Every structure is written in C-alpha cells, then in structure tokens.
Structure 1
Amino acid sequence: MPFVKTQDGTEIFYKDWGTGQPLVFHHGWPLSGDDWDAQMMFFLSKGYRVIAHDRRGHGRSSQTDSGNEMDTYAADVAALAAHLDLKDAVHIGHSTGGGEVTRYVARHGGNGRVAKAVLIGAVPPVMVKSDANPGGLPLEVFDGFRAALVANRAQFYVDVPAGPFYGFNRPGAKVSQGVIDNWWRQGMAGGIKAHYDCIKAFSETDFTEDLKAIEVPTLVMHGDDDQIVPIADSALLSVKLLKKGTLKVYPGLPHGMCTTHPDTINADLLAFIQS
C-alpha cells in the first residue's frame, strides 16, 4: 500500500488515483480517507487526480502517540505534497480536515502548490469558548468527548454517527445503518491515543491568523443544521477573515452533508474548482 514516511518516522497512508489537476481531500475526526468515497469517485469520473490520506493516528497510518496536533498535521500534508510533487492542487477539508487545510495552505501552500481551498463544516477559526470567542462551545463539551472516548470508544463511535453527525437524530431523518457502520469502521481503525489528542487539536487550535494569511480563493461550505460545528461560530466568522472567501450555506443540512447529500456538494465543488 502507498505510504509516505515523515521526518519522525510516521507512515502516512494515501490513495492517489487518476490524472489531471490534483484534488486533495482531508477527512474529519476520527475518520479516514475513506470518508471521501462519494467525492473521490465523482471527481475521478470528471478527469481529476484525486488524493486522500489518512491523518496520523487515523485509518491505516501509524498509530502515533505524538505529533497529534495541527502543526504536525500540516507538516505531514506538506511531506505528502512534496512526495507526490503536487502543483496547482485544490485542498478540500471537512471538519478537522478543514483546520488541517487552513494551516497547511497558510504555512506550506506557496510555490504554486495550491490553487484553491475548500472548507466544509470546518472547525476554524476556533471552536472552544473563551473571552475572545464567547460564541464557542464550552470546554466541558470537549472534556465530555474525551471521557466518552476513554470509557467506551466503540459505543461512542456508534452514538456520534447515529445521532448528531449526520442529523439522524432529527425528526423524519432518513437513517442509513450502513453509513453509521462505516463511520464506526473508520473510527475504530485508528488509535485511541491519537484520537484523544486530536480532540484538543480540533477544538482549541486558533486558526485566525492562518485564515488571514491564505491568498488563494477559498470556498466555505456549511450546513445551517450542523450540530457538531455550529455555523455561527465557524463558517460565518471564517469567511470574514479570508482575503478571497466565498460562503455557501446549506439550509437544513448536517455536519456530514458530503455523505448525506453528495450530489449537491459535488456539483458545487465542481463549479468552484472550474471557476
């Protein structure tokens, strides 16, 4: 299987299919590159080169006990981009992956490597509540995530997709057991220590200066019924910090809208990439 080895010896698994302009997909917590199946197949059919990696500690990559924070995540992506010699790439990140894209593009995206960026249901600017971010979620919410993870990771990884992640807890929702099981499968493939550390990375990292530093056109996509990353303290703030930001809000759609509504998301992604 294809891996790139980073400076600290971590092996990052990746999929690299097709030819043409490269599209790099960055997954959310605690998933893997498999979460992008619907996008990978669609854009492959449209003649693009599609790449998805498993973040360190996730999926098929090394189950790391260190480096599970945004600076290292971004450096890992830079190692992958150098290994594959990516140029004029579009980096597309969901949730935690949106934070990874933000830091990578801000710090490593020069020299023609990055053409555009997309943030979908993404965690920037910062999730946790503070005096500087009064609209954020209280730290106790994320402490609860950590406690649930340690107490019974397998059950927690059923409860999240069966409930708020895909909006399956909403009245009248069309629930897919296969989608829930696939979320569980991806999550359980990773390492609990890396997943535990990543909760701090996605909730407490402040991406404000990264957003301000991004020079390329950036599309911010967010469902207004996102129960995992509430839109008011994420997308609505991020787009104001971006030099070339465009916001697209999806009424009633959940956090996992790339999976629940792929036709809608793929069409809008294609339009932005081609614009």
Structure 2
Amino acid sequence: MLAEGSGPPVLLLHGSGPGTTAAAWAPLIAALAPHHRVIAPDLLGFGSSPKPEPGRSLRSAWTEQVLELVDSLSIESFAVVGNSAGGAIALSLACARPGTVTRVVAVGSMGVAMPLPAGLDALWNAESAQAVANLITFLAPSDASVVAREAAMRAQPWYSELFPAPRQRWVDDLALTREELAGIAAPVLLVHGAQDRIVPMRDSFLSLIEALPDVRGHVFGRCGHASPLEHTDEFNRLLTTFLETDR
C-alpha cells in the first residue's frame, strides 16, 4: 500500500492488468498529496497482496478488502478513483457505503453488463509475461504502453489463475445491476479514451452514463485504456477540479 499527504482522503484503485500495482498511480499520488490524504492499496492478487480465495467473486473480495482497509484506518468518508476493474470496485464501494463515499472517478471502467471485449480477453488469457507485453504494445500503441510492458514483465506467476476461462464470467462478476447503479448517490466522473481497445467506450462508458443518476463524462481523443498515463497533466487537472468542486 502507498500512502501520502494529508487532507480529505482519496483512495486509488488500480486495474487488473498483469503486474499492475499501486505504483501505477505514482504521478497522480504526487499531484494529489499536497491537498489530500492519498491511499493506494494493492488489490488481492496483485503486488504485495495475497491471492484471493479460489472461486470467490472478485467484486466481493476486492470491495471487502478496501472496506476493511478504510475501517482499519478510521476513515469516515472518502473519494475513490478506480481504473478499469478498479473503476467497477469504486462503483461497488459507492453502492455498499452510500454515506461514506463522497465522489467516484471511474477511468476506462468496467462495472456494467457487457460482452467480454476481445482486447480484455486476450490480456487476461496471455500465457506469459512477454506475450502480455507484446499484446499491450499492440492494444495501447503509445508511450503509456512502455509502462504497461514493464508492469507485465513483473506479473506474479499466478496471474493466469485469476481469470480462468470462460472469462465472460469475470466481466459479469464485476458488473453492477441497473438498480445498483441507479442507487449510487455520490457524484461520478467517468473518464474514457476514445481509442480504448481493452474496455471500448461502446461497451461500458455509454451504458454507465445512462444508468448513473449524478454523472458527468470526459473523453480523451487519441487515447487508449490508460488516460492517467497517456494524458497525465490533463487528467490530473480534470480530477483535481472534480474532487475540489463544492456541490
């Protein structure tokens, strides 16, 4: 877990790419820490955290893990930023603790019923770190892919066990129902890359926009699945403004 700064708490939840850890948020942590207490855990199965229990719902396991962390730190309210699968968990937290989650930022987010995207299926199914690294370069042909490649090469040996086939079930597992999404009271900012081939806009972003009651969206052009890395300065300004705007 990474923790820096002081002020209103903000949790940062990484996605499900191979080798991903809390360290993926380093540029954003530096931007937020002067005015916020920033906490970025390694979700179960990633970084320094142990594997989740076999067969358990990942949404349930990751949501419970984060809530236990929040309670252990005596945090009464917090904003949460989640990327990809982490976006689904951010929405799940807002659903589970409506009086605790103050704002949600979901980036390239899952969290809604959709078909398994081909890019995500290939990523979860890659048989080796090198294969994943090569795939990332194809799916995210930008400077951000260099960072993702490095992360892939650090992937835990059990990564391939996290998302066994049929992988559609893991997309379904991370999806909130329409009723759950409609019940989220916290303001939500959705951020997506127009060229995202891991979680395409048509599969997730548009459905979430329709389902959430208090939502605004931002789409980065010339951007894939990693807008915090591909458009770092713009993303950080967008996020800071959203977190600090009084409602």
**Residues 1:25 and 2:4 aligned together:** no
Query: Structure 1 residues 176, 271: CA separation in 2 closer, same or farther (over 3 Å shift)?
Result: closer
Tell whether the 8 Å contact from 1:20 to 1:47 is kept in structure 2 after alignment: yes
Unmatched runs of 5 consecutive residues or more in structure 2: none
1:99-248 → structure 2 map (5 Å cutoff): 99-107=88-96, 109-111=97-99, 113-128=100-115, 137=117, 144-145=122-123, 148-149=125-126, 152-164=127-139, 167-168=140-141, 173=142, 175=143, 178-188=146-156, 191-196=159-164, 202-205=170-173, 206-207=175-176, 208-248=178-218
Matched, 1:64 2:52: yes
CA contact (8 A) 2:31 2:236 kept: yes
In structure 2, distance between residues paired with 1:145 and 1:267: 30
**What SS class does the counterpart of residue 188 from structure 1 fall into?**
coil
CA distance in 1, matches of 2:136, 2:192: 18
Cα deviations by residue, 1:132-174 (Å, 9 ceiling, x for unpaired)? xxxxx47xx766555x43xx2212321232221xx31xxxx5x
Asked if structure 2 preserves the Cα contact closer than 8 Å seen for 1:58 and 1:195, the reply is no
Distance 2:145 2:182 in 1: 40
Q: Deviations over 1:224-247 (max 9, x none)?
A: 111111101211110111111111
RMSD: 2.4
Compared CA separation, residues 115 and 142, structure 1 to 2 (3 A): closer
> Please, what TM-score do these two structures have when normalized by structure 2?
0.87
One-letter identity of the residue aligned with 1:267: R
| d(CA) in 2 for partners of 1:36, 1:61 | 16
Secondary structure at 2:128's aligned position in 1? Answer: helix
Q: Structure 1: how far apart are the matches of 2:165 and 2:46?
A: 12
- The answer (yes or no) to whether the contact 2:104–2:189 under 8 Å persists in 1 is yes
Match of residue 32 from structure 2: 43
Superposition deviation, residue 65 in structure 1: 4.2
Q: Which amino acid aligns with 1:119?
A: A
Question: 2 CA distance for matches of 1:57 and 1:247?
Answer: 30
Q: Report the AA paired with residue 125 of structure 1.
A: V
With over 3 angstroms needed to count, the CA separation of the structure-2 counterparts of 1:209 and 1:233, relative to structure 1, is: same
User: Gapped runs of 5+ residues in structure 1?
Assistant: 1-13, 130-136
After TM superposition, give the deviation of residue 47 of structure 1 in Å: 1.9
**Distance in 2 between residues matched to 1:114 and 1:36, nearest whole Å:** 20
Give me the identity figure in percent.
21
Measure the CA separation in 1 of the matches of 2:31 and 2:165.
33
Contact 1:58–1:190 (8 Å) recurs in 2: no
The secondary structure found in structure 2 opposite 1:72 is helix
Moved more, 61-70 or 230-239: 61-70
Deviations 1:159-203 (A, max 9, x none): 232221xx31xxxx5x46751443224533764323548955652
Determine if contact 2:2/2:23 at 8 Å carries over to the other structure.
no
Deviates more, 1:191-200 or 1:152-161: 191-200
Q: TM-score, normalised by structure 1?
A: 0.78
Which residue is 1:9 aligned to?
A: none
Q: Kindly state the Cα deviation for residue 58 of structure 1 after the two structures are TM-superposed.
A: 1.0
Q: Which residue matches 2:73?
A: 84
